[in-house]
Amino acid sequence: MVRGNIQTNIPAITNLDTAIQIYYRYPEIGSKEMAQLFTRKSKSTINRLKKVAHNQMLEDNIFTHGMYKLNTKSAYKAWGIDVNDLEKRRNKLLELGL
């Protein structure tokens, strides 16, 4: 994915429930939540993802209260995580008893 002049691969999320829970629980996220969200947790990966999300926040004209935090909605948008789609998938799994 390319955002501005930053190109990075977005790692897979750990699971649907975690991604949905983080989205709704935290209006702003940091490294701790990102480590829970993604399968790759290295500092360099987290920092690259933060830069992509920060660029999206600037594009959306959104600022955070914490110096090292990201707006969750902008971050998910930057990383291509569609919460509505995740919820539909989770509900389908529950419906199927899986």
Can you list the positions of beta strands (E) in 1-98? Answer: 2-3, 6-7, 28-29, 70-71
Q: Which of 48, 76, 81 is nearest to 62 (CA)?
A: 76
Q: Which of 95, 93, 80 is nearest to 49 (CA)?
A: 80
Average pLDDT in the chain: 91
pLDDT of residue 1: 52
Dump pLDDT digits (tens) for 52-69.
Answer: 999 999 999 999 888 889
The answer on pLDDT for 3 being more than 60 is no
Q: Where in the chain are the domains?
A: 12-96
Q: Which residues of 64-75 are buried (b: 16+ CB within 10 A; e: fewer)?
A: beeeebbbbbbb
Collapsed DSSP state (helix, strand, coil) of residue 2: strand
Rounded average pLDDT over 1-14: 70
Top-confidence residue, 6 or 89: 89
The single residue listed with the structure tokens 């939540």 is 33
pLDDT of residue 2: 47
pLDDT > 70 in the chain, percent: 93
Q: CA 44, CA 66: separation in Å to the nearest integer? A: 20
